[in-house]
Amino acid sequence: MKKWKFAVSSANIAAPTAPILLTGSICDNLVQASQLGYHAVEVHTRETARWDYPAIEEVMKKHEVGISAIVTGKLCTEGQVNLIDDIPYVTHFAMEGMKQYIEMAQRFKTDIVLGWARGRIPDKGNAQNYLDRLAGNLQILDDYAGERGVSIHLEVINRYETNIFNTAAETLEFIRKNELKNCFVHLDTFHMGIEEADPVAAIKLCGDKLGYMHFADNSRTYPGSGQIDFRPIIQALDSIGYKGYLSVECLPKPDGITAARMSRSHLQNCASSI
Ligand code: LER
Ligand code: MN
193-218 pLDDT tens trace: 999 999 999 999 999 999 999 999 99
Average pLDDT over residues 97-110: 98
Question: How many other C-beta atoms lie within 10 A of the C-beta of residue 133?
Answer: 17
In the prediction, which pLDDT does 191 show? 98
Domain CATH code at residue 88: 3.20.20.150
Task: State the pLDDT confidence band at 91, using cuts at 50, 70 and 90.
Answer: very high
CB 31 within 8 A of CB 66: no
Ramachandran category for residue 118: left, alpha or beta (phi over 0 → left; psi -120 to 50 → alpha): alpha
Cα 201 to ligand 1 centre (Å) = 21
Give per-residue pLDDT as tens, 141-183: 999 999 999 999 999 999 999 999 999 999 999 999 999 999 9
Ligand 1 contacts CB of residue 214 (under 6 A): yes
In the predicted structure, residue 188 carries a pLDDT above the cut 90: yes
Could you list the active site residues?
A: 155, 249
In the prediction, which pLDDT does 178 show? 98
CB crowding 243-262: b at 16 or more within 10 Å, else e: ebbbbbbbbbbeebeebbbb
* Residue range(s) defining the domain that contains residue 118: 5-272
Ligand 1 contacts CB of residue 155 (under 6 A): yes
To test the pocket of ligand 1, the residue of 21, 118, 157 to mutate (highest count of ligand atoms within 8 Å of its CB) is: 157
Give per-residue pLDDT as tens, 54-68: 999 999 999 999 999
Cα 124 to ligand 2 centre (Å) = 27
Give the bridge partners for 155, in sequence order: 186
- From the CA of 214, give the closest atom in ligand 1: 2
Alpha carbon nearest to ligand 1 atom 2, residue: 115
Gap between the Cα atoms of 231 and 3, Å rounded: 15
Cα 16 to ligand 1 centre (Å) = 14
- From the CA of 186, give the closest atom in ligand 1: 2
Whole-model pTM: value is 0.98
In the prediction, which pLDDT does 1 show? 78
In the predicted structure, residue 86 carries a pLDDT above the cut 90: yes
Domain count, the chain: 1
Average pLDDT over residues 11-35: 98
Ligand 1 contacts CB of residue 192 (under 6 A): no
Give per-residue pLDDT as tens, 117-149: 999 999 999 999 999 999 999 999 999 999 999
